[in-house]
Structure 1
């Protein structure tokens, strides 16, 4: 599976009997990224059978409690499980100040090291990168400094055709050169078409996480053409004034963002607890953008 997203929590500030506060686990090419860490996150990780030892990076969008209250418990559990690998937390610089007394009081003997990567909130910035994945932060507009995250697969290499190896008697260095884009010359002295040598790779996949934010069109150029977008939809549009006042988004506004950014699929979450019936969110969004779903806790999205 190239990319899969598991929703651990999908409610706004208050947890309910069937929805935890915001948290997600994203698997990109077997890199497991935890996005936000609301209260109950480690319980949800257990429930969804996520291997704790595979989580090496945690991305915190902003320092409101419903996005971070699960963090100290998870850090403690990592220690009790005997973790040795470094844990990197990408967050506002204040988080390490807020966590310091908790770490010193509750988990002073952690068997692993925590590193903090301070985020910036004014311009997009690459915050993590390896040979397969790049993660970029993008500025959002909320009551405190907030950013979203875009996770992108790096361009994939093509595969050499087995029949081409036999037909042209390709050596290993020639195969490597061809896969890296170099031209191959046949015995007749003419270049061989790529279509006769390679199976072209699929398009790299991408996921964007946008919570919490008011209706903020500045993000559109950054998220254009992503395959999957999670966008907060705290209120229905009839409460658009309240959404603006509290720096949140309506379902209709999130759908407009998805449509104008040419998103592949939109998923909505971070619902206000005032709404018992969530289906009006879906109806409101679908009137603008058809390929949309409402997330539920423990739901998994796969991108091939």
Structure 2
């Protein structure tokens, strides 16, 4: 099953040449999740030939414009394209009011339903679940209420070894074997040992999105060992004081968090427009956590099973 992240925007508050405001797409199976929706997101979706109507869920981290100003336009375009299916929208308090006011004075009546879920940005809490994955909030420390999001695949079934399966097994018993059970008779005696007729399942994958935030070690337990961590890296370390003052992070701080959390890969983004060349940010992070990459426009990262 596909588990793939695509970067649509990587700039901080001020857009720069070839860098757009924050937006990412996470595809899990047939579910496309849009994470933040900065100005210009629609153009990036068209640029990379991604159909608006395929987006199932939208997750907004906070109400600074570079993370949601593209949302009213995107929802309006879905209307013009005659979307009828519902969409799930997750975001902090105030987002529903903003959209309601926008659509009220624009006399916009959407033909599809927006299922808005107001998230508590101060705690880690499960806010979404389907057959394949869950989504939890990650509390960030920013100038306004802000959260990140943790996407985790659910445990997967074990593989049946067809050549070793007895003929008498029923379909319900085969399902129980897939989920790790032994098959017993009415007296409790083991008829088929799971370990002898199944193999290990494919591993479950995870992605943590850490939006605008100061360096914050108390999220370490939540992101420990994730396959892919995105962490904002607005500044280089020589501007650490500026980062703290504006409630942002440096590339070195993002890498330090990745190292302490023992994640497999790190992506850094949300770069200040002052940096025309992003190489120094990448080098600063890689000096601490070598498996770091830049979350730049068009980059696609697949997480393998």
What's the TM-score bracket when you normalise by the shorter of the two chains? over 0.9
Give the distance between the partners of 1:54 and 1:275, measured in 2 at CA.
Answer: 34
How do 1:1-304 and structure 2 match up within 5 A? 1-106=1-106, 108-165=108-165, 167-184=166-183, 191-304=191-304
**Secondary structure of 1:85's partner?**
coil
RMSD: 1.5
- The number of aligned residues is 301
Give the distance between the partners of 1:199 and 1:79, measured in 2 at CA.
Answer: 47
CA distance change for structure 1 residues 163 and 137 in 2, over 3 Å: closer, same or farther? same
C-alpha contact 1:138 1:149 (8 A) present in aligned 2: yes
Q: Deviations over 1:235-258 (max 9, x none)?
A: 000100000000000000000000
Gaps of 5+ in 1: none
**Divergent runs of 4+, >2 A:** 105-109, 167-171, 189-196
Give the distance between the partners of 2:235 and 2:253, measured in 1 at CA.
Answer: 10
C-alpha contact 2:181 2:194 (8 A) present in aligned 1: no
**Secondary structure of 1:221's partner?**
helix
How far the C-alpha of 1:122 sits from its partner, in A, is 1.5
Gaps of 5+ in 2: none
C-alpha contact 1:56 1:85 (8 A) present in aligned 2: no
Give the distance between the partners of 2:167 and 2:238, measured in 1 at CA.
Answer: 66
CA distance change for structure 1 residues 190 and 97 in 2, over 3 Å: closer, same or farther? closer
**Secondary structure of 1:135's partner?**
strand
How far the C-alpha of 1:185 sits from its partner, in A, is 5.4
Give the distance between the partners of 1:37 and 1:67, measured in 2 at CA.
Answer: 5
Give the distance between the partners of 1:103 and 1:152, measured in 2 at CA.
Answer: 34
How far the C-alpha of 1:168 sits from its partner, in A, is 4.4
* TM-score normalised by the chain length of structure 1: 0.95
C-alpha contact 1:183 1:192 (8 A) present in aligned 2: yes
**Secondary structure of 1:178's partner?**
helix
How far the C-alpha of 1:115 sits from its partner, in A, is 2.3
How far the C-alpha of 1:202 sits from its partner, in A, is 1.5
Moved more, 94-103 or 248-257: 94-103
C-alpha contact 1:256 1:289 (8 A) present in aligned 2: yes
